């Protein structure tokens, strides 16, 4: 039995299937990130776990207890939602102590916990301050403290950092991870930001269209995606379709006859239709022909200089696609029209079982990921 078990969760609103069929098991102390494009069912999943919505079907068990008929306030679950604002007319201390007060804890116990929480979120001395006197980042830290103060079994966070600027979001990410490590509280964290999901999660759940596409260690999901959707969603890459050949030099045979050497992935057989994803940071771009096996010549079609990095869109006739690659912005920056060589090591070539091709995919070879920030 796992700490949290979500079994075949389904939630339908009229004609809309918000969550189709999601099953997920979470171990105690884990920090799980849930990521996926807008409307894929992340928030609905969380609301059902929190008890703020009732599932159409399926069940949720926490510590072996079926939560289905348990109201939200009896679930021992702390929530931090993007629009779940602090109580504006209560001080920071009163906000943090709210759950404890509801439980009938004494004033001295509440004061003790508030002090402990304020120290944890680095806001000592903020007891009597009101939310409107706090910055956005401070308010979110107070919201986290409020969710943790009553020592919940589980904490659910829905895009808690999305209203903050990039720099603050990065520092709060680190802080949230530290707080979670210190408290050891099992946490489910929803975001549409892939970097956040990969960097924060002990495990990452990738959702699409109300379903769970992959639930795995972030590195595994990034390097061995379970589906073309996951490969495309986690990271920037260019897609090419072909057929896997697992003879002496394993390779993917592309439709135009070109060959990309690859490592063989467990579970794949000779003749499988595969979708190859060239991660833009794993493709090298050079002026001279490299000695590597997977080397292709092409022409720079577009240059996107970003300071430290430079992104090139290189048209490669042999691969029949425009490949997106990142180069070093600090060195020589190639101009549009320049002839260059692209190469990628066989072990860096990512592929998944192809979901069946449509005519559109061939022409949409440059796949930028959705929602990257």
Ligand X SMILES: Nc1ncnc2c1ncn2[C@@H]1O[C@H](COP(=O)(O)OP(=O)(O)OP(=O)(O)O)[C@@H](O)[C@H]1O
Interacting residues toward ligand X by CB under 6 A: 13, 16, 18, 36, 38-44, 192
Least separation in angstroms between residue 18's CB and ligand X is 3
User: 64 in the Ramachandran plot: left (φ > 0), alpha (ψ -120 to 50) or beta?
Assistant: left
Instruction: Return the number of the residue (41 or 99) whose C-beta is nearest ligand X.
Output: 41
CB of 90 to ligand X, least distance (A): 27
**Cβ proximity to ligand X, 48 vs 280, nearer residue:** 48
Phi-psi region of 159 (alpha: psi -120 to 50; beta: other; left: phi over 0): left
By C-beta, is 97 or 204 nearer to ligand X? 204
Residue 35 or 221: which CB sits closer to ligand X?
35
Nearer to ligand X, 120 or 206 (CB): 206
Which residues on neighbouring strands pair with residue 57, listed in sequence order? 10
**Alpha carbon distance 38, 341 (integer Å):** 37
CB of 4 to ligand X, least distance (A): 18
Which parts of 230-365 are beta strand (E)? 237-245, 251-254, 259-261, 273-279, 284-286, 295-305, 309-316, 321-328, 339-343, 350-353
Nearer to ligand X, 42 or 239 (CB): 42
Tell the smallest beta-carbon distance from residue 9 to ligand X (Å): 11
Q: Is 125 left (phi over 0), alpha (psi -120 to 50) or beta?
A: left
**What angle separates helix 136-149 from helix 107-120, to the nearest 10 degrees?**
130
For the chain, the distance separating the N- and C-terminal CA atoms, rounded to the nearest angstrom, is 37
Mapping DSSP to helix (H, G, I), strand (E, B) and coil, where does residue 107 land?
A: helix
Closer to ligand X by CB, 203 or 224: give it: 203
Residue 220 phi, psi dihedral angles, 5° rounding:
-65, -45
Q: Smallest gap, in angstroms, from Cβ of residue 84 to ligand X? A: 13
CB of 12 to ligand X, least distance (A): 9
Closest CA to 49 of 95, 96, 5, 101: 5
Cβ neighbourhood burial of 54 (10 Å; 0-12, 13-18, 19+): exposed
| Distance in Å, CB of 36 to ligand X, minimum | 6
Minimum Å gap between C-beta 206 and ligand X is 11
Residue with Cβ nearer ligand X (13 or 73): 13
Please say whether the beta carbons of 58 and 111 come within 8 A. no
Closest distance between ligand X and the C-beta of residue 34, in Å? 8
Give how far the C-alpha of residue 336 lies from the chain's centroid of Cα atoms, to the nearest Å: 33
Backbone angles phi, psi at 207, to 5 degrees: -110, 150
Cβ proximity to ligand X: between 39 and 329 the closer is 39
Minimal distance, residue 203 CB to ligand X, in Å:
18
Question: What are the residues whose beta carbons fall under 8 Å from the beta carbon of 164, sequence distance 6 or more?
Answer: 136, 137, 140, 172
Nearer to ligand X, 43 or 194 (CB): 43
Cα–Cα distance measured from residue 199 to residue 272, given in angstroms and rounded to the nearest whole number: 32
DSSP class of residue 333 equals P
């Amino acid at each position: 039995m796992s700490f949290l078990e979500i079994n075949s969760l389904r939630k339908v609103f009229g004609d809309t299937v918000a969550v189709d069929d999601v099953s997920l098991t979470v171990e105690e102390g884990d920090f799980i990130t849930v990521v996926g494009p807008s409307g894929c069912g992340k928030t609905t999943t969380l609301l059902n776990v929190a008890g703020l919505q009732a599932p159409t079907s399926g069940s949720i068990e926490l510590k072996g207890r079926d939560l289905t008929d348990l109201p939200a306030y009896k679930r021992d679950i702390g929530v931090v939602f993007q629009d779940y604002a602090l109580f504006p007319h209560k001080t920071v201390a009163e906000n943090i102590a709210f759950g404890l007060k509801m439980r009938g804890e004494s004033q001295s116990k509440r004061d003790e916990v508030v002090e402990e929480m304020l120290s944890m979120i680095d806001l000592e001395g903020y007891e009597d301050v009101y939310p409107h006197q706090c910055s956005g980042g401070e308010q979110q830290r107070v919201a986290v403290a409020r969710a943790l103060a009553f020592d919940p079994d589980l904490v659910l966070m829905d895009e808690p950092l999305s209203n903050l600027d990039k720099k603050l979001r990065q520092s709060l990410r680190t802080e949230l991870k530290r707080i979670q490590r210190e408290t050891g509280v099992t946490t489910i964290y929803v975001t549409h930001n892939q970097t956040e999901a990969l960097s924060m999660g002990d495990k990452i759940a990738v959702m699409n269209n109300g379903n769970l596409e992959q639930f795995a260690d972030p590195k595994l999901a990034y390097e061995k995606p379970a589906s073309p959707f996951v490969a495309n969603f986690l990271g920037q890459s260019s897609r090419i379709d072909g057929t896997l050949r697992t003879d002496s030099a394993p390779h993917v045979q592309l439709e135009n006859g070109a060959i990309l050497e690859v490592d063989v992935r467990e579970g794949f057989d000779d003749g499988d239709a595969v979708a190859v994803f060239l991660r833009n940071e794993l493709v090298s771009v050079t002026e001279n022909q490299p000695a590597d096996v997977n080397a292709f010549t092409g022409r720079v079609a577009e240059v996107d200089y970003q300071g430290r990095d430079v992104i090139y869109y290189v048209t490669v006739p042999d691969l029949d696609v425009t490949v997106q690659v990142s180069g070093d912005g600090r060195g020589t920056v190639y101009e549009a029209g320049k002839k260059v060589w692209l190469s990628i090591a066989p072990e860096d070539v990512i592929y998944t079982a192809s979901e069946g091709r449509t005519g559109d995919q061939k022409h949409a070879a440059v796949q930028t990921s959705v929602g990257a920030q």
